[in-house]
Amino acid sequence: GTTTATLLAQAMVREGMKNVAAGANPMILKRGMEKAVQTIVDEIQKISRPVDKKDAIAQVASISASDEEIGKL
């Protein structure tokens, strides 16, 4: 989750800086990134589902924390 997001952000910044150094327009790159983010958010929303039952919430928490005991809290 957070590690993946951090690595993706780092790669986006690194590649963006390379493109700007090569002469790309930073505002066009920014708009492209914003469009990509919106597309990703839209796709995640399409496949997401609500989690409202206690056992389902515990399961999500256990997976997120990599610890079943934490999930039960």
pTM score, whole prediction: 0.67
Residue 53, φ and ψ in degrees, nearest 5: -85, 145
Residues for the chain: how many in total? 73
Q: Amino acid letter at 36?
A: A
pLDDT band per the 50, 70, 90 thresholds, residue 70: confident
Average pLDDT, rounded, for the chain? 92
Q: Render pLDDT for 24-44 as a digit per residue (tens, 0 to 9).
A: 999 999 999 999 999 999 999
Q: What is the CA radius of gyration of the chain?
A: 18
DSSP 16-58: HHHHHHTT--HHHHHHHHHHHHHHHHHHHHHH-----SHHHHH
pLDDT at 14: 97
